[in-house]
Amino acid sequence: MTIAILGGTGKEGAGLALRWAKLGHTILIGSRDASRAQVKAAELREIARASAITGHSNAEAAARAEIVVIALPANGLASTLPEVREACRGKVVVSTVVPLTFGTGRLFAPPPIGSSGEEVASLLPEARVVAAFHHLAAHELADAEHPIDCDLLICGQDPPAKETVTQLGQAMGLRVLDVGALTNAGPLEGITAVLATINRRYKLKNSGIKITGL
Amino acid sequence: MTIAILGGTGKEGAGLALRWAKLGHTILIGSRDASRAQVKAAELREIARASAITGHSNAEAAARAEIVVIALPANGLASTLPEVREACRGKVVVSTVVPLTFGTGRLFAPPPIGSSGEEVASLLPEARVVAAFHHLAAHELADAEHPIDCDLLICGQDPPAKETVTQLGQAMGLRVLDVGALTNAGPLEGITAVLATINRRYKLKNSGIKITGL
């Protein structure tokens, strides 16, 4: 499949690009600055030993993709998504966005709508939004030979879109669990605050989460 | 230790009571209605084969305890906690409260202050509040011979209070992880919404969470 990763120059987006490229998908790295996306794409082609990774503006990447992954910072959604609204119409859009604010105060700071996933859905009303991939450490994704010791928890309103994302996760070797409607995106995003705190406190780079009892 | 469990007639509170009674602690079950607490205490004495479980009004249980566990429904905090404020002064207070609203709409519905744990702290300003025990399925707690396949994630502002709660968790056989300040209580409480959704969707009673990578 052809997968755009908006904000794909960041660590999390680049890690997903690497994993999916090695599985044979065509990857379009998107960035506000197309030349930065091209530099990152060249770097990833080398690491992945895969040729189908190219760099583009966010708008061009979204327009050319079958699936659009949003790996933007939470505070960049309102400025970036309106320009890709038409390109995302009817497409599966995966929000990996986590509303964390590092520094003093409250680490988990979701927008008034409840979650970044719901903000994505409100800015891309005709897209089929699934929130997923919040908990996979960038550090784990980057080592593409290594199995990832983490469940993939997803939520969204569109069952076929969730099925597509489930297959993308299972192909990476992950157990995928359906966590219901997009109103659960806030709790899923909040888990990243828990993991970031544990990483800092226990000097880790790659804590993750597994669901027990099933 | 002498542990009061306010709202101890509910499933989660009763499960904790059972586990701690079997470990030799003295348990004071608290309820708005002292006679209901006495009935539940008699039932738990029989199951636990432990004599040190008694029933009381919430206020009396809090006054007589060294540690006060809040296992009330989220919407009962504002009406119940003011009457125990004096009794909780300087004590370790454990909030197990999760702001879930079953029915239609948004399952996870934290109060404006950010979390039930922070609401407890605001209503009991002189208490040493730790948020913990949100993720242990009541069904798992009730079978007191059975090891629990779940990590205990805790947060709070008072390191010695967290150490006390850590010991209470470790005595139950749990791995305990410190998840920082009480501003992380929202993300911890939100995990219960994730687990409740998974339980419903996969027809389970006892899903839990384990942190990987450490």
pLDDT over 80 at B60, yes or no: yes
Supply B71's token pair.
């296992």
Task: Please answer whether residues A37 and A8 qualify as being in contact, where contact means their C-beta atoms are separated by less than 8 angstroms.
Answer: yes
- Helix then strand then coil, % of chain B, to nearest 5: 45, 20, 35
pLDDT digits (tens, 9 = 90+) for A2-18: 999 999 999 999 999 99
pLDDT at site A145? 82
A49 touches chain B (CB under 8 A): no
Write out chain B residues lying below 8 Å of A159, CB-based. none
B107 touches chain A (CB under 8 A): yes
ipTM given for this complex: 0.95
Of A149, A191, A193, the CB nearest to B212: A149
Question: Average pLDDT, stretch B102-118?
Answer: 93
Percent of chain B residues topping a pLDDT of 70: 100
Percent of chain A residues topping a pLDDT of 70: 100
CA distance B187 to chain A (A): 5
Cα angle B5, B204, A156 (rounded to 5 degrees) comes to: 105
- pTM for this predicted structure: 0.96
Question: Average pLDDT, stretch B122-149?
Answer: 92
Question: Average pLDDT, stretch A179-199?
Answer: 98
pLDDT at site A68? 98
pLDDT digits (tens, 9 = 90+) for A43-91: 999 999 989 999 999 999 999 999 999 999 999 999 999 999 999 999 9
Supply A4's token pair.
């755009």
A179 touches chain B (CB under 8 A): yes
Cα angle B176, B11, B132 (rounded to 5 degrees) comes to: 25
pLDDT at site B23? 94
Write out chain B residues lying below 8 Å of A108, CB-based. 183-184, 186-187
pLDDT over 90 at B116, yes or no: yes
Q: Does the distance separating the beta carbons of B195 and A190 come in below 8 Å?
A: no
Supply A205's token pair.
């780079």
Label residue B55 exposed, middle or buried (CB < 10 Å: 0-12, 13-18, 19+).
Answer: buried
Q: Which stretches does DSSP call E strand in B81-171?
A: 92-95, 128-131, 152-156
Instruction: Give the residue from chain A lying closest to B197, CA to CA.
Output: A179
DSSP-derived secondary structure letter, A81: G
- Probe site for chain A from B197, B206, B207 (most A CB atoms < 10 A): B197
Per DSSP, the residues of A132-194 read: --SSS-HHHHHSTTSPP-S-EEEEES-HHHHHHHHHHHHHTT--EEE--SGGGHHHHHHHHHH
**Among B185, B191, B152, B190, which residue's Cα sits nearest to residue B168?**
B152
Q: Does the distance separating the beta carbons of B210 and A194 come in below 8 Å?
A: no
Supply A19's token pair.
């994993």
Write out chain B residues lying below 8 Å of A150, CB-based. 212
pLDDT over 80 at A144, yes or no: no
- Probe site for chain B from A101, A148, A174, A184 (most B CB atoms < 10 A): A184
B182 touches chain A (CB under 8 A): no
pLDDT at site A146? 87
pLDDT at site B1? 96
For residues B181 and A186, give the distance between their C-alpha atoms in angstroms, rounded to a whole number. Answer: 19
